[in-house]
Amino acid sequence: MLTLILGIILVAAALGAIAIGLGQRLNRLVNKDIQVWLLYGVSVGVVLFGLVGLGLLLGTSFTVVGADEMGHLKRVYGGLSMPPGQIIAFKGQAGPQAEVLSPGFKFSPLLNVLYKVEKFSVVEIPVDSYGLLLARDGAPLRPGQILADEWPEAEFEKMLEAEYFLHNGGQKGPQLSVLPPGKYRVHRYLFDVVVKPVTNIAIGSVGVVKSNVQTSDNCIPVPQPQEQTLAIPLVPKGCIGVWNEPLLPGRYYLNANAYEVINISTRVYAWEYSGGYERRVINLKLDQEGRITQDEVKQNVPVPPTAVEGAIPVRVEGWTVPIEVRLIVQIAPEDAPFVVAAVGGLTEVEQRILTRTLGSVVRNVIGERGRKVLELQDQRAELEQLVKQTIIPEGRKAGISVKEVRFGDPVIPPELLVTLARRQLAEELEKTYAREQRAQEQRVLTEQARATADQQDQLVAAQVGVQIEVQNKLASQLRGEGREAELTAIARGQDAQVKVLGQDRVLQLEALIKTLEAAIENPNIVKVPVIMVEGSSTGMEGFAAILGGASNLAKGTLFSSQDK
């Protein structure tokens, strides 16, 4: 640009000199009027060339910086050389300048000639990201230092200014301080900016920080609990190593070059150990005649895709019994740093430690000497509790909390179950036959009840008749007993009369009583005597007289008639 301007000026001067020389020669050749016009034309040309030169000079002395821009200067002419290793030039030095142009109209003589002006947009960091800074110039890093020292929060905005950064101990290389979301006027000759995603710790997880830098002076290793037998040192926050304090759920703007954040889930997980064996079943069948037959069925049980491993084989009473296990585990937030430092994560704990430990515990507990195979079925809850009590301390050694142990249905050899199944089937048959018999008896009783209901009138009449007969029998019996008692009493009375009156008198008295009773019942047999009745003093003459002289009584020696 400067060469162009100088060339224009020189051309204008040369043209002016040529115009003057031509004017002098023409002055001798032509008249005065022509000379005046020529001088006027040359003057106009010189003025035009001068205005053009001035315009070019003014046009190269200003620039306009937009509101969301920064003007960066790189001096091309008239500057001193920088020392070796220096990247950013200060005032008076050639090269990328520390000074920048703020937004607005900027004027400086020959600005665009002496400098190369570049405009950069402000750096914008999205809300879900942060900006990594790489300084091209500054003090060198100390031996062993991988990131520049962190800037205090109060000076963070000033560090983005090249002169402040370079004059206040700014270090060359990757910076520990990062740009959180927002807009920044970053010196683009000094800093490179790389946008990185923010660190998110989801709900149900914690973030374990492995730090590569030290920002704290107190970095004594933290003692670990006694039950965690793995010797893994943890350090306080701000030290190099695994921090003993995890990050709780949230958003963190952490420098990925300085901090490695490992997300560890604190949710409850279920580890399954199932499949990988052959299941045999002996089915029992019952024919129409009540005979039991059996049939064996085999089935291969594969390991499910969601299972950690196959079922755990256990040797009991000489039989190999696959045991399916479901393990419920969890990593507590405070144990997450230890897990990361000791093993690496939940998957590593599962594969390297707890799976092998679980297999050993299950085989030791269930395969204990004296254990019966059928106990796996009858005492499953007790065995689950024993395994749980044994595996919990083993899990704590690796920072894992075992919440629950559950067994699947034991795969007991069918030969041990067929006898029991046959016995149960026989008992069920016996119960069935008994129920059928009771049902048949109930049916008979029902039919009898129905028939009885149909003949209810006759049954009632018959029952009443039976009751009447029973009552008559009882009445007759009572009359007989009364008569017997009466006759017995009469006999006793007659015996007493005989002893007092004598047998004859008693007989006469009895006859008299009967006669009187007959007369009372049949008054017609009483007659008025019309004949003289005599007797031989037997005592029967009066009876005969009363009865009207009955011939059968008058005969004999008792009495005789004298009316003839």
**Does residue 533 have a pLDDT over 50?**
no
**E-strand stretches of 324-458:** 325-330, 401-407
Average pLDDT over residues 434-444: 79
The closest of 201, 223, 229, 225 to 342, measured between CA atoms, is 229
How far does CA 292 lie from the centroid of its chain?
45
Q: What is the pLDDT of residue 435?
A: 80
**Does residue 261 have a pLDDT over 60?**
yes
Q: Is 160 helix (H, G, I), strand (E, B) or coil?
A: coil
**Does residue 397 have a pLDDT over 50?**
yes
**Does residue 430 have a pLDDT over 90?**
no
Weakest-pLDDT range from 62-66, 249-253, 501-505: 501-505
Rounded Cα distance between 130 and 259, Å, is: 14
Rounded Cα distance between 134 and 176, Å, is: 9
**Does residue 28 have a pLDDT over 90?**
no
**Does residue 20 have a pLDDT over 90?**
no
Handedness of CA 156, 158, 163, 167 (dihedral sign): negative
Q: What is the pLDDT of residue 501?
A: 67
**Does residue 196 have a pLDDT over 80?**
yes
**Does residue 543 have a pLDDT over 90?**
no
Weakest-pLDDT range from 55-64, 394-403, 504-513: 55-64
The closest of 58, 248, 242, 91 to 162, measured between CA atoms, is 91
Weakest-pLDDT range from 43-47, 202-206, 419-423: 43-47
**Does residue 136 have a pLDDT over 70?**
yes
Q: What is the pLDDT of residue 564?
A: 37
Q: What is the pLDDT of residue 552?
A: 44
* Residues near 388 by beta carbon (within 8 Å), at least 6 away in sequence: 402, 404, 405
**Does residue 363 have a pLDDT over 60?**
yes
**Does residue 48 have a pLDDT over 90?**
no
**E-strand stretches of 182-229:** 182-184, 191-197, 199-201, 205-211
Do 356 and 296 contact (CB within 8 A), yes or no?
no
Residue 1: band (very low, low, confident or very high) from pLDDT cuts 50, 70, 90: very low
Cα separations (Å) of 304 from 181, 280, 477?
46, 19, 94
* Residues near 277 by beta carbon (within 8 Å), at least 6 away in sequence: 301, 310, 311, 313, 322, 411
Place of tokens 């585990």: 329
Q: Which residue has the higher pLDDT, 21 or 193?
A: 193
* Residues near 276 by beta carbon (within 8 Å), at least 6 away in sequence: 301, 302, 303, 309, 310, 311, 322
Residues in the chain: 564
Rounded Cα distance between 507 and 67, Å, is: 170
Q: What is the pLDDT of residue 557?
A: 40
Q: What is the pLDDT of residue 231?
A: 65
* Residues near 260 by beta carbon (within 8 Å), at least 6 away in sequence: 209, 210, 212
Q: Is 250 helix (H, G, I), strand (E, B) or coil?
A: strand
**Does residue 375 have a pLDDT over 60?**
yes
The closest of 139, 134, 213, 215 to 171, measured between CA atoms, is 139
**Does residue 479 have a pLDDT over 90?**
no
What DSSP element (H or E) covers 99?
strand 95-101
Q: What is the pLDDT of residue 562?
A: 41
Average pLDDT over residues 419-447: 75
SS3 assignment for 409-440: CCCCCHHHHHHHHHHHHHHHHHHHHHHHHHHH
Weakest-pLDDT range from 182-191, 227-236, 540-549: 540-549
Average pLDDT over residues 11-23: 58
Mean pLDDT for the chain overall: 79
Rounded Cα distance between 216 and 219, Å, is: 7
Class of domain 271-412 (CATH, top level): alpha beta
Q: What is the pLDDT of residue 236?
A: 92
Q: What percent of the chain has pLDDT over 90?
A: 31
The token pair that represents 161 in the structure block: 């200014």
pLDDT digits (tens, 9 = 90+) for 139-164: 999 998 999 999 988 888 888 999 99
Q: What percent of the chain has pLDDT over 70?
A: 76
Do 258 and 147 contact (CB within 8 A), yes or no?
yes
Max mean pLDDT range (94-108, 227-241, 340-354, 449-463): 94-108
Q: What is the pLDDT of residue 558?
A: 40
How far does CA 175 lie from the centroid of its chain?
45
**Tally of CA atoms within 13 A in the half-sphere of 28 that contains its CB:** 4
Do 220 and 324 contact (CB within 8 A), yes or no?
no
**Does residue 23 have a pLDDT over 70?**
no
The closest of 334, 333, 309 to 323, measured between CA atoms, is 309
pLDDT digits (tens, 9 = 90+) for 66-96: 888 889 888 888 888 888 889 999 988 888 9
The closest of 362, 355, 363, 366 to 329, measured between CA atoms, is 355
**Does residue 258 have a pLDDT over 90?**
yes
Strands 325-330 and 401-407: antiparallel
Q: Which residue has the higher pLDDT, 246 or 440?
A: 246
Q: What is the pLDDT of residue 560?
A: 38
pLDDT digits (tens, 9 = 90+) for 400-424: 899 999 999 888 888 777 777 767 7
* Residues near 256 by beta carbon (within 8 Å), at least 6 away in sequence: 132, 196
Phi, then psi, of 178 in degrees rounded to 5: -125, 165
Query: First CA to last CA across the chain, in angstroms?
Result: 216
Phi, then psi, of 489 in degrees rounded to 5: -65, -40
Average pLDDT over residues 106-110: 76
The alpha-helical segments, DSSP class H, found in 111-182 are 111-114, 156-159, 162-167
Weakest-pLDDT range from 1-5, 138-142, 196-200, 451-455: 1-5
**Tally of CA atoms within 13 A in the half-sphere of 386 that contains its CB:** 14
